[in-house]
Structure 1
Amino acid sequence: MGEVRLTVSVAALLMNEREEVLLVKTHWRADTWEMPGGNVEAGEPLDKAVCREVREETGIVIRPLGISGVYFNATKHVLVVVFKAAYVSGEIAIQPEEIQEARYIAITEANIDHYITRPQQRSRTLDALKAERLVPYETWEVGEAYRLAGRVSPDPE
């Protein structure tokens, strides 16, 4: 049996002032809309990865607020961490080699099937929309001493 590699991915739920969700349509999953996100690079903190992926895919700068859910694709060995995020700056500007379209969409439980056709994407999005309590995230550097390198928390410090 060969070595199994685990891929870690991140995604972000970002809403505008009209309570619409920022969603993207990729070339390789053109049958569905989904939250922007992608794979974490080796050694990259998750909060930095989600900011990078959202900016690369949509042109929008975000601030992660906390984690709304963690999901695992057992077939492809992909762990997905979904953050809820706040808007910081930017206008939608897609990278056409990766993203077909990006826009804010008013998603509800009643209409989600019209936009998000894949069940794992639906559950992640609905969980993030309904999340009343977000989970903090910390990045630590461990050597001779422990150093907190970053913290994302929905609670005021």
Structure 2
Amino acid sequence: MEYTHFVSVAGLVCNDKDEILLLKSPTRGWEYPGGMVEPGETLQDALIREIKEETGVDAEITGFIGVCKNIQKDIVNIDFSCKYSGGNFVTSDESLDVKWVRRDEALDLVTFPLTKKRLENMLYACNAVSCFNFKKEPFEVVAEEKYTVGR
């Protein structure tokens, strides 16, 4: 059997004011930065690269939030918490706009179903790691668990 899984990473980047970094995607609307892990690249390096490429922001990874899998396309998404460490906003082919938003505004701006579900997990992690599996078309969570951090 041949395996063909793809891995993506995303980060909930917060600044000193506890604001969330969002970018406006040309296809999915407002979302957090992230993207596919390239062959030979670590998860951490991929996330830092994607944040910089899409937003111009430098960030440090501060924690692990959760993982989810698209069971129809075998894509595994891994989410991290990050803190802003520098840089200035830039846009790219993947980001039409970039801005800081208050936590209570973030969920109102994000409308793409999968992105919204992952953002909810990112915002409300609270010492638990989220693991869910989903179908994308139409979006449906088919299994979900929260696991406490540690033993």
TM-score range, shorter chain: 0.7 to 0.9
TM-score when scaled to structure 1? 0.74
Query: Is the counterpart of residue 94 in structure 1 residue 91 in structure 2?
Result: yes
Matches within 5 A, 1:144-155: none
Percent pairwise identity: 34
CA distance in 2, matches of 1:133, 1:43: 30
Q: CA contact under 8 A between 1:67 and 1:134: conserved in structure 2?
A: no
CA distance in 2, matches of 1:90, 1:51: 12
User: 2:20 is matched with which residue?
Assistant: 21
Unaligned runs of 5+ in 2: 130-151
Unaligned runs of 5+ in 1: 136-157
Deviation at 1:107, TM superposition (A): 3.1
Q: CA contact under 8 A between 1:66 and 1:134: conserved in structure 2?
A: no
RMSD over aligned CA atoms reads 2.0
CA distance in 2, matches of 1:42, 1:100: 27
Deviation at 1:83, TM superposition (A): 0.5
Query: Is the counterpart of residue 48 in structure 1 residue 42 in structure 2?
Result: no
CA distance in 2, matches of 1:88, 1:63: 7
SS in 1 for 2:4: coil
Pick the structure with more strand per residue.
Answer: 2
User: 2:70 is matched with which residue?
Assistant: 73
Deviation at 1:98, TM superposition (A): 2.1
SS in 2 for 1:33: strand
Q: CA contact under 8 A between 2:107 and 2:120: conserved in structure 1?
A: no
Aligned length: 129
